[in-house]
Chains A and B, each alone.
Chain A
């Protein structure tokens, strides 16, 4: 789907005569939870490489993996968990072994000030609390399921959203009282939502791997090194853990 769009756009650009640019482009597929931090990294990388145009494509990691499997063309893939990356690797789509670059844990995003006094996972089981979560097909939903399974509570979720940003959006607009999101998502939206700590959340850690795809230019490996090196400070500032 993405490839078709890209081809169509390329075709339209060619038709309109906009092909003269000598810029190198680098297409990066990244997990939805990396939206803010990779947008910052994009600017830094482009500042260091004025001739490079980094194109970011964010979605749930599983969706990105499916798009890659269906032939979408990307140079770098950053996933929100190792399992999704393993699927991509076993399909023979990677140029090299993936490297972990960050970790993340879950928290509960609530309305600022936590007016309902939601405390921990037990709060999500309350009758008067509307809670949302990621669908189990994506890493944040998978992690949420694992976290809930480790506790003796049965949260009632009103909706299973396609990715973590959709969960956050439902809390931000006030449709949901609480949403299970990554610590980093709540931090990125500090002010719009508050984070309620979950006891034992550190027991379910998502490790984010990054890899270059087969046939990617050398620039892809350079971007990966940048994320692992100079970019790690940006990641820590955003609340990601060190792998």
Chain B
């Protein structure tokens, strides 16, 4: 346990116990409610229905692709933000973090009016290359990457700033080129934060709903990911919706267990 961090004497002030218990209840009681509502006898049938399997496959595929995009694009961005000294770096950092704070449905609208058929990028894509982004699996991946990337950038950039530039400077004085310094010094230092960032981005991508339904639509096997399937089923077959919710919770728990304790340390750094 790490509670000794709070109070060096090893005792938690008693005034904190009640709100702490309430906070814990706020997280656990709703999950318990879902478990109580679950039809465990029919669970295997519900989870292996055609629609559920399609949604699961699509969710895992798109979340994995989004996470790869987050790493490929997010790590360089984090390094630039942490190490460069150009004047507007703070503004850029704020802009990059925007999707973290923005309601996802607003993100969906932003994507619609940029990459949609009448958006300024989407229109050019449509006219020049005949590419239409909305209603495609690519749209799902873009929406997920949009909302998930800040998690990776925050994780990695925080770690970079915490470790400082001493090792890199030493490597450079010993004659290493910037690329060598990045691959041999910076990257190994980043690994724990990168791992936590990857896990958090994947989890965020997996849970994406608002931006996806606004920008990508909802069609089985193409754009209807697990959260969208839960929403669709909630109209007609609540047992299915609950079963799929349980599946998402199990995945979330696995993600947390796999990521611990690195993700927690990464966020703190």
Interface residues of A (CB under 8 A from B): 60, 62-63, 66, 69-70, 130, 132, 135, 137-138, 157-162, 170, 173-176
Task: Please encode chain B, from 139 to 156, with 1 for each CB lying within 8 Å of some chain A CB and 0 for all others.
Answer: 000000000000000000
Contact (A137, B217) CB under 8 Å given A159-B223, A175-B112: no
Q: Measured between C-beta atoms, what is the minimum distance from B95 to chain A in Å?
A: 25
Rank and list the top 4 A-B pairs by shortest CB-CB distance, nearest first: A159-B217, A137-B236, A158-B135, A137-B235
- Interface-located stretch among B19-27, B78-86, B187-195, B226-234: B226-234
What are the residues of chain B within 8 A of A160 when measuring CB–CB? 217-220, 224, 232
B267 lies within 8 A of chain A by Cβ: no
Bound Cα distance from A134 to B171, whole angstroms: 60
Cross-chain contact B218 with A162 (CB below 8 angstroms)? yes
What are the residues of chain A within 8 A of B223 when measuring CB–CB? 159
What are the residues of chain A within 8 A of B236 when measuring CB–CB? 62, 66, 137
Cross-chain contact A157 with B219 (CB below 8 angstroms)? yes
Most chain A CB atoms below 10 A, which of B112, B117, B235, B238: B235
Cross-chain contact B235 with A132 (CB below 8 angstroms)? no
- Of residues 193 to 225 in B, which have CB atoms within 8 Å of A's CB atoms? 213, 216-220, 223-224
Residue of A nearest to B136 (CB): A158
Cross-chain contact B234 with A66 (CB below 8 angstroms)? yes
Residue of B nearest to A64 (CB): B235
Cross-chain contact B217 with A158 (CB below 8 angstroms)? yes
Bound Cα distance from A63 to B238, whole angstroms: 10
Contact (A175, B134) CB under 8 Å given A132-B217, A160-B218, A161-B217: yes
What are the residues of chain A within 8 A of B238 when measuring CB–CB? 66, 69-70
What are the residues of chain B within 8 A of A159 when measuring CB–CB? 135, 216-219, 223
Most chain A CB atoms below 10 A, which of B132, B135, B238: B135
What are the residues of chain A within 8 A of B117 when measuring CB–CB? 174-175
Interface size, chain B (Cβ < 8 Å): 23
Cross-chain contact A130 with B135 (CB below 8 angstroms)? yes
Which of B118, B218, B233 is in CB contact (< 8 Å) with A161? B218
Bound Cα distance from A161 to B238, whole angstroms: 18
Contact (A174, B218) CB under 8 Å given A62-B236, A63-B235, A162-B231: no
Residue of B nearest to A157 (CB): B219
Residue of A nearest to B123 (CB): A174
Contact (A173, B112) CB under 8 Å given A63-B234, A130-B135: yes
Most chain B CB atoms below 10 A, which of A160, A174, A175: A175
B116 lies within 8 A of chain A by Cβ: yes
Contact (A162, B217) CB under 8 Å given A173-B116, A175-B112: no
Most chain A CB atoms below 10 A, which of B132, B217, B220, B231: B217
9 extra A-B contacts, CB within 8 A, seeds A62-B235, A161-B218, A174-B116: A130-B132, A158-B134, A160-B217, A160-B218, A162-B232, A170-B217, A173-B118, A175-B112, A175-B118
Q: Measured between C-beta atoms, what is the minimum distance from A195 to chain B in Å?
A: 21
What are the residues of chain B within 8 A of A174 when measuring CB–CB? 116-118
Contact (A135, B135) CB under 8 Å given A159-B217, A175-B112: no
Q: Measured between C-beta atoms, what is the minimum distance from B261 to chain A in Å?
A: 34
Could you list 5 A-B pairs, sorted by A, with CB under 8 Å? A130-B132, A158-B134, A158-B135, A160-B219, A176-B135
Bound Cα distance from A62 to B236, whole angstroms: 6
Q: Measured between C-beta atoms, what is the minimum distance from A108 to chain B in Å?
A: 17
